[in-house]
Chains A and B, each alone.
Chain A
Amino acid sequence: MSDWSLVEHFLHTDPADVGCDGAMAVLEVYAELTHADPAAARTRFPGVAVHLSQCGPCAEDLTGLLRAIVADEADS
């Protein structure tokens, strides 16, 4: 990536992005789907997938949720 393409990346937005509220509304469903089959999660919730690729805090919450699901499986 060079010069203006970096600027393009810096200013990138995607109209399919559902925003934080839209992602948080279904994050638990998205997390379980991702745990089972990440491609299926992206297919069922494309706007959430876009958002999670753009929003650091929501992506961090998803990572935590996935870790909690794995920890639950290890504990049981």
Chain B
Amino acid sequence: MAARAWPYDPKVPAPGVDRETLDPDSAEWLGCLDQAAADRDGCLSRLHALMTRAARRELARRAAQLAVSGPELDDLAVQSAGDAMVAVLAKLDQFRGESRFTTWVYKFVMFEVSAKIGRHQWQHHAPSSSEIDWDRLPDRVGLGPEDHAVQRDLVRAVTSAVEQDLTEYQRSVFVAILIDGVPLEAVAHGMGVSRNTVYKALFDARRKVRAALVAHGQLGQTEGRTP
């Protein structure tokens, strides 16, 4: 497998893969998926079967995150495999040969399964109220009832930072995920943005809130140290 420089920039187009350097199975997959391959239809059927099996296994593993089972769960697996296959075929020329072809394909299956679970979770766990229940914060942080003074100071400091220092978008993400407990993937679905976009907003929101708590002397300058 060809080594690639790190950090890797996914925006830079990948060079075409050298099939001579691939493991035999991966080379065979690329060969039979070629537009000119004699048995391309058979190859597509085998790929679809492989991806459907992987999606079924993954959804079975993550079934506890969903309130569905049986045929409905299987429908999600079939949908995930189908959507993942469309993505794989559209991006076939981006396969870099740094892993086995099947591992690369499974990545698309996992991503689609996660997206389907996120959609399902949003339908069942979307925030039901526009009111922010700040009383949940100590519990989310993991503070026990004996930490009453910390609880009071924490709620006051975080509420102030969230309202004054965050953008409206960052505030929505912070509250949905960290206060309301909505899964990140579900928030991404509900907001119609990518997982990365939500993660970045949450990252920035955490950093800003922490900076505010440092400025007020409640946290130390260096992470891991308390004043």
- A residues bordering B, Cβ < 8 Å? 1-13, 17-22, 24-29, 31-32, 44-45, 47, 55-58, 60-61, 63-65, 67-69, 71-72
Binds A, one of B28-36, B165-173, B218-226: B218-226
A-B contact count (CB 8 A): 131
Report how far A69 CA is from B107 CA in the complex, Å: 11
Q: 13 A–B contact pairs at CB < 8 A?
A: A1-B142, A4-B227, A12-B206, A13-B207, A28-B104, A31-B99, A32-B103, A47-B7, A55-B184, A60-B62, A61-B114, A64-B106, A64-B110
Given contacts A60-B114, A72-B102, contact A10 B226 (CB under 8 A): no
In contact, A57 and B185 (Cβ under 8 angstroms): yes
Q: Is B195 positioned at the interface, with any CB of A under 8 Å from its CB?
A: yes
**How big is the B interface, by class?**
35 or more
In contact, A10 and B178 (Cβ under 8 angstroms): yes
The residues of A that contact B185 with a CB separation of less than 8 Å are 57
Smallest CB gap from B142: residue in A = A6
In contact, A44 and B184 (Cβ under 8 angstroms): no
14 further interface pairs, Cβ-Cβ under 8 Å (given A8-B210, A12-B210): A3-B147, A3-B150, A7-B213, A11-B210, A19-B199, A19-B200, A20-B199, A21-B194, A24-B10, A32-B99, A32-B100, A32-B103, A61-B111, A64-B58
The residues of A that contact B102 with a CB separation of less than 8 Å are 72
The residues of A that contact B103 with a CB separation of less than 8 Å are 28, 31-32, 65, 68-69
Smallest CB gap from A1: residue in B = B142
CB of B6, distance to nearest CB on chain A (Å): 7
Report how far A9 CA is from B166 CA in the complex, Å: 19
- B residues bordering A, Cβ < 8 Å? 6-8, 10, 54, 57-58, 61-62, 98-100, 102-104, 106-107, 109-111, 113-114, 118, 140-143, 147, 150, 154, 178, 183-185, 194-196, 199-200, 203, 206-207, 209-210, 213, 218-219, 223-224, 226-227
CB of B52, distance to nearest CB on chain A (Å): 12
The residues of A that contact B57 with a CB separation of less than 8 Å are 67-68, 71
In contact, A24 and B111 (Cβ under 8 angstroms): yes
Q: DSSP class of B's interface residues: helix, strand, loop or mixed? A: helix
In contact, A56 and B141 (Cβ under 8 angstroms): no
Closest 4 CB pairs of A and B: A20-B196, A25-B10, A11-B210, A28-B99
- Indicate which residue in B106, B113, B114, B196 contacts A28 across the interface (CB closer than 8 Å): B106
Report how far A6 CA is from B223 CA in the complex, Å: 12
Report how far A17 CA is from B127 CA in the complex, Å: 28
The residues of B that contact A58 with a CB separation of less than 8 Å are 195
CB of A43, distance to nearest CB on chain B (Å): 11
The residues of B that contact A9 with a CB separation of less than 8 Å are 142
In contact, B106 and A68 (Cβ under 8 angstroms): yes
CB of A23, distance to nearest CB on chain B (Å): 9
